Amino acid sequence: MSIAIHQFMCLSDNFGVLVHDPQTGATAAIDAPDAAPILEAIGTKEWKLTDVLITHHHFDHTQGITGLKAAFPSARIVGPAREAAKIKGLNLEVREGDKVKIGSLEAIVIDVPGHTSGHVAYWIENEDVLFAGDTLFAMGCGRGFEEPAPVLYRSLLKLGALPAKTKVYCGHEYTLSNARFALSVDPGNSALQDRARVIAMMREAGQFTLPTTMALELATNPFLRVEDAGLQAAIGMTGADPAAIFTELRERKNNF
């Protein structure tokens, strides 16, 4: 039996995600936006929480830690070493290249500074699954709150270099507004036009638009397409430095 992943809404637009290893029974929560819905999801599945993998220190990713720990005192809280001072209750601090076990599963830690300085992503290579937190979204990326845009750009390049078949889980359901922005800077992209139509229908039907895949992001996410000639022409930056184009896109999105 292979990995089971359960995704559900927390707070207003955060995703809760549970990763379950049927072989050992181990179950990890990816981030802790809110303890109550996560505990409810665990109860419904009749799973036991063994690990919590935190991507970054923001409140809407960590405020559930205390509640999860109260319900499952032996659960191990894993998070970025570079943000350990900002995250209460970490049991294991991780860095680039570290491997975190979830039962028999193994998540590889990828440093992706930008949205926050110590943000990490977790990649289960054997299952082709990535938990990107607030670094990469469907057709978008997180704001560069704590690092300049070129730092965030390098982090997105790292994620974009993962296998195209990688399934990508993200911290928020921002897809509809991201699609609107993407169309504004990459209007001639037919894959993007098609995807925007599909997304609109999914949201209308109350469906989640995530996970996405890296292949889909490489084809439709403007922040991963700064080297595309059509996008460059559309924003009047033909031949410009890719990091400068990324910075311009991030700036435009901030004011969109």
Those residues whose C-beta lies under 8 Å from the C-beta of residue 149, and which sit 6 or more positions away, are 114, 243, 246, 247, 250, 251
Burial 163-187 (b: 16+ CB within 10 A, else e): eeebbbbbbbbbbbebbebbbebbe
Give 79 or 103: the residue with its C-beta nearer to Zn ion: 79
Residue 189 φ then ψ, to 5°: -85, 105
Q: Among 77-85, 121-129, 134-142, 215-223, which window interacts with Zn ion (CB under 5 A)? A: 134-142
Considering the rule CB under 5 A, would residue 134 count as an interface residue with Zn ion? yes
The CA distance from 192 to 221, in Å, is 8
Establish whether 119 is a catalytic residue: no
Annotated catalytic residue, options 34, 61, 111, 119: 61
6 is catalytic: no
Is 57 known to be catalytic?
no
Q: Which is nearer to Zn ion, 58 or 250 (CB)?
A: 58
Answer yes or no whether residue 173 interacts with Zn ion by CB under 5 A: no
Residue 119 in the binding site for Zn ion (CB under 5 A) = no
Q: What is the total count of residues that contact Zn ion (CB under 5 A)? A: 2
Burial of 206 (0-12, 13-18, 19+ CB in 10 A): exposed
Footprint on residues 36-65 left by Zn ion (CB under 5 A): 58
111, 119, 172, 186: which is the annotated catalytic residue? 172
Of 84 and 234, CB closest to Zn ion: 84
The alpha helices in the chain, defined as continuous H runs, are 35-45, 59-62, 65-71, 149-160, 175-185, 190-204, 214-220, 229-234, 242-254
Q: Cα-atom radius of gyration of the chain, to the nearest Å?
A: 18
Which residue among 21, 34, 51, 60 is the active-site one? 60
Upper half-sphere CA count for residue 20 (Cβ side, 13 Å) = 16
Considering only 30-38, 41-49, 129-137, 231-239, which stretch makes contact with Zn ion by CB under 5 A?
A: 129-137
Nearer of residues 59 and 74 to Zn ion, judged by Cβ: 59
172/195 with CB nearer Zn ion = 172
Active site residue 115: yes
Active site amino acids? 56, 58, 60-61, 115, 134, 172
The footprint of Zn ion (CB under 5 A) covers 58, 134
